[in-house]
Copies of this chain bind each other. A is one copy, B any other.
Amino acid sequence: MKKLFLSLLIAVVGFSGLVSRAAEAPPAKADPTIDQRVADLEAYVNNVARGADAADAKVKSNVSGAGPGHNAFQMVCAALVLFMTLPGLFLFYGGLVRKKNVLSVVAQCFGLAGMVTIMWWAFGYSFVFGDGSSPWIGSFSKFAFLAGVDSNPNTNYSYWVSQNVFSMYQLMFAIITPALIVGAIAERMKFSAVLAFVALWMVVVYFPLAHAVWGIDGAMNGVWNAKASIKAIDFAGGTVVHMSSGWSALVLCLILGPRLGFGKTNMAPHGMLMCAIGTGMLWVGWYGFNAGSAVAADGVAANAFTTTTIAAAVASFVWPMVEWLVKGKPSILGFCSGAVAGLVVITPACGFVNMTGAVIIGVLAGIVPFLACAYLKPLLKYDDALDTFGVHAVGGTLGALVTGFLATADVNSNLTTNLKDILGKTLWIEQLKAMGITIVLSVVATAVIAYIVKAVIGLRPTEEGETIGLDLTDHGEEGYHG
């Protein structure tokens, strides 16, 4: 295991120098007129293209780099999304496991952050955002080792945000998505197996899916790609992030089997306070996730910010109220689950729906995932330890679907570019198609990868190791001393 990673690392560092960076000589262009200069500045405020950004532009721009307001926002958003994983998930997931496994959750999140960054640098960003190769996978050679990804904007994705910032922002998504899977398989999967599984999963599931949905020439990028074969929309990751991780989590936890003593031993969360703190951090960080997905501090971001707040708050209230009604007490885990569920369900919708839509989503998010966790899971007896499936798969699926119904061009005029004809009509069918593909890809790929990893290095620790706890077994440390 160790050797594998180390040689990979060395190989990759070595190769990074070799990729050619052919500089294209730009044709000489005229200086902008005063009118064009003012128009470019207005373009900055309005987050639209400079004159010079047009493919056939004949003038230069005096403000050809990134714009401060947008760039500042995007950097902060990237930091906020990182905050969701480190330390958001440490606390949210760490609080929900038993004391003896708390550090293993930390290690899994932390380890994925490092490993995925290295993959992202070497080829991940290329596979997702490198255009010009295929609707299902990006072009490796375009941005391998992040060559050419500098402080200038890549106008395929943003007029006013530096591409290096954009690439780091998107990296944070690539980190948190597999980290969500950790929730389902907590307390019983070897650290080495988690790393190996995710390394493969990123390549087979995440990179293709993210390219298809968000790549400028992606097959399911309904908003920006006029030639998309499936005209679906996903503002901040209902399919790419939550459905992919959630459905994969279910399959992986089934293949892995339940924790030793599942159903008999008391496996109550060891730190509900920690979990609640993590929830607060997730919520705050999620503003980076959702509003930041506008890739500009514009009106769309403002709308996403607002709908995110409303959906999260409403769901965080509805879930425990339903519990109060049904189980007799509103639990803190109910508040936390509701907030996260609200955030998950609004994710694909936040930049496309209005406030009424957000309230509806909040109410649904407080009820549907609750039913999945409280009734479906005990019924089917799978051991989704921290409810990745119940919250992320169910919530993401719900969100992707309702986005098809509630999206409105009133809050996001980009929806009229390529989707005028189906918006408010058959958009939901496109959503269903994208959801289907996401589920099939996640389920099948996860099963194959899981069995491969199982065969090669094994998935679970020894019984004794699991009984003692993964903290000591895998990391030789304990979460709390004295």
Residues A318 and B164 in contact in the complex (CB < 8 Å), given A279-B86, A479-B273: no
Determine how many copies of this chain the complex contains: 3
Write out the residue numbers on chain B whose beta carbons fall within 8 Å of the beta carbon of A103: 272-273, 276, 332
CB-contact partner of A477 in B146, B333, B339, under 8 A: B333
Whether the Cβ atoms of A355 and B145 lie closer than 8 Å is: yes
Interface residues on A, range: 35 or more
Residues of B within 8 A of A171 (CB): 309
List of B residues within 8 angstroms of A86 by Cβ: 279-280, 283-284
A313-331: CB near B (< 8 Å → 1, else 0) gives 1101110110011011111
CA A482 – CA B279 in complex, angstroms?
21
Per-residue CB proximity of A267-295 to B under 8 Å, as 1/0? 01111111011111101100100010000
CA distance A91 to B320 in the complex (A): 21
Which residues of A, 48-80, contact B by the 8 Å Cβ criterion? Answer: 62-63, 65-73, 75-76, 78-80
Listed by A's residue number, 16 A-B pairs whose Cβ atoms lie within 8 Å are: A34-B38, A44-B45, A46-B63, A66-B298, A66-B299, A68-B160, A69-B72, A75-B297, A88-B280, A110-B335, A111-B317, A113-B316, A114-B338, A151-B298, A164-B355, A329-B475
List the B side residues contacting A6 at CB < 8 Å. Answer: 321, 325
- The dominant DSSP class at the A interface is helix
Residue contact A303 to B168, C-beta cutoff 8 Å = no
Asked whether B321 lies within 8 Å of A71 as measured between CB atoms, the reply is: no
Query: A37 contacts the other chain (Cβ, under 8 Å)?
Result: yes
Shortest Cβ gap from A113 to chain B (Å) = 6
